[in-house]
Amino acid sequence: MKYDEKRAFMRINMDSEMRYRLVDSSEFKTVRCTSLSGSGVSFVSAQSCDEGIAMEINITPQSAITPAFTAFVEVVRVEPLDNSEFEIAAAIKTIKG
Protein backbone atom coordinates (compact mmCIF):
# COMPACT_ATOMS: atom_id res chain seq x y z
CA MET A 1 0.00 0.00 0.00
CA LYS A 2 1.29 3.45 -0.86
CA TYR A 3 1.89 5.68 2.15
CA ASP A 4 -0.36 8.44 0.80
CA GLU A 5 -3.27 5.97 0.64
CA LYS A 6 -3.25 5.14 4.38
CA ARG A 7 -6.67 5.94 5.73
CA ALA A 8 -7.23 9.01 7.87
CA PHE A 9 -10.98 8.22 8.01
CA MET A 10 -12.95 5.06 8.70
CA ARG A 11 -14.23 3.36 5.56
CA ILE A 12 -17.89 2.33 5.24
CA ASN A 13 -18.53 -0.66 2.98
CA MET A 14 -21.47 0.02 0.72
CA ASP A 15 -23.47 -1.47 -2.12
CA SER A 16 -25.25 1.61 -3.43
CA GLU A 17 -26.05 3.10 -6.77
CA MET A 18 -23.77 5.93 -7.80
CA ARG A 19 -23.84 8.16 -10.85
CA TYR A 20 -20.79 9.92 -12.24
CA ARG A 21 -19.83 12.16 -15.10
CA LEU A 22 -16.49 13.43 -16.27
CA VAL A 23 -16.29 17.16 -15.58
CA ASP A 24 -16.08 17.95 -19.31
CA SER A 25 -19.17 15.83 -20.12
CA SER A 26 -22.89 16.10 -19.48
CA GLU A 27 -23.45 12.31 -19.74
CA PHE A 28 -23.91 10.47 -16.43
CA LYS A 29 -23.09 6.77 -16.05
CA THR A 30 -24.48 4.53 -13.31
CA VAL A 31 -22.10 2.31 -11.34
CA ARG A 32 -21.96 0.51 -7.97
CA CYS A 33 -20.34 2.32 -5.04
CA THR A 34 -18.47 -0.20 -2.85
CA SER A 35 -16.99 1.99 -0.11
CA LEU A 36 -17.03 5.53 1.20
CA SER A 37 -14.89 7.42 3.71
CA GLY A 38 -14.48 11.03 4.76
CA SER A 39 -11.85 11.51 2.08
CA GLY A 40 -12.61 9.05 -0.70
CA VAL A 41 -14.88 6.68 -2.56
CA SER A 42 -14.46 3.37 -4.38
CA PHE A 43 -16.73 2.02 -7.08
CA VAL A 44 -16.94 -0.71 -9.70
CA SER A 45 -17.43 0.21 -13.35
CA ALA A 46 -17.57 -1.64 -16.67
CA GLN A 47 -15.45 1.15 -18.12
CA SER A 48 -11.91 2.09 -17.19
CA CYS A 49 -10.70 5.66 -16.84
CA ASP A 50 -7.38 7.43 -16.37
CA GLU A 51 -5.88 8.28 -13.01
CA GLY A 52 -5.94 12.00 -12.32
CA ILE A 53 -9.22 12.76 -14.09
CA ALA A 54 -11.91 14.78 -12.33
CA MET A 55 -15.50 13.57 -11.92
CA GLU A 56 -18.74 14.74 -10.40
CA ILE A 57 -20.41 11.95 -8.43
CA ASN A 58 -23.91 11.50 -6.98
CA ILE A 59 -24.38 8.80 -4.34
CA THR A 60 -27.76 7.68 -3.04
CA PRO A 61 -27.05 5.24 -0.18
CA GLN A 62 -29.53 2.51 0.74
CA SER A 63 -29.21 3.48 4.41
CA ALA A 64 -30.74 6.46 6.20
CA ILE A 65 -27.48 6.81 8.15
CA THR A 66 -25.69 8.35 5.14
CA PRO A 67 -27.63 11.00 3.20
CA ALA A 68 -27.46 11.37 -0.59
CA PHE A 69 -24.79 13.79 -1.75
CA THR A 70 -22.90 15.18 -4.72
CA ALA A 71 -19.13 15.66 -4.75
CA PHE A 72 -16.22 16.40 -7.05
CA VAL A 73 -13.49 13.75 -6.97
CA GLU A 74 -10.13 12.95 -8.54
CA VAL A 75 -9.38 9.37 -9.62
CA VAL A 76 -6.34 8.02 -7.75
CA ARG A 77 -6.38 4.33 -8.70
CA VAL A 78 -7.87 2.05 -11.38
CA GLU A 79 -7.49 -1.72 -11.03
CA PRO A 80 -8.89 -4.37 -13.39
CA LEU A 81 -11.04 -7.07 -11.79
CA ASP A 82 -11.38 -10.69 -12.94
CA ASN A 83 -14.88 -10.10 -14.36
CA SER A 84 -13.93 -7.47 -17.00
CA GLU A 85 -14.87 -4.64 -14.64
CA PHE A 86 -12.66 -2.06 -12.94
CA GLU A 87 -12.37 -0.99 -9.32
CA ILE A 88 -11.88 2.77 -9.27
CA ALA A 89 -10.78 4.73 -6.20
CA ALA A 90 -11.16 8.50 -6.04
CA ALA A 91 -10.26 11.21 -3.56
CA ILE A 92 -13.09 13.56 -2.59
CA LYS A 93 -11.99 17.14 -3.36
CA THR A 94 -15.20 19.05 -2.55
CA ILE A 95 -18.75 18.22 -1.53
CA LYS A 96 -21.34 20.19 -3.47
CA GLY A 97 -23.53 22.30 -1.21
Domains and their CATH numbers in the chain: 3-95 (2.40.10.220)
The model's pLDDT over 8-42, given as tens digits with 9 standing for 90+, comes to 556 678 788 999 999 899 999 999 999 988 889 99
For 76, list phi and psi in degrees, rounded to 5. -110, -20
The model's pLDDT over 44-84, given as tens digits with 9 standing for 90+, comes to 999 999 999 999 999 887 666 667 889 999 999 999 999 99
Predicted local confidence at residue 30, as pLDDT: 96
Predicted local confidence at residue 16, as pLDDT: 87
The SS3 call for residue 5 is helix
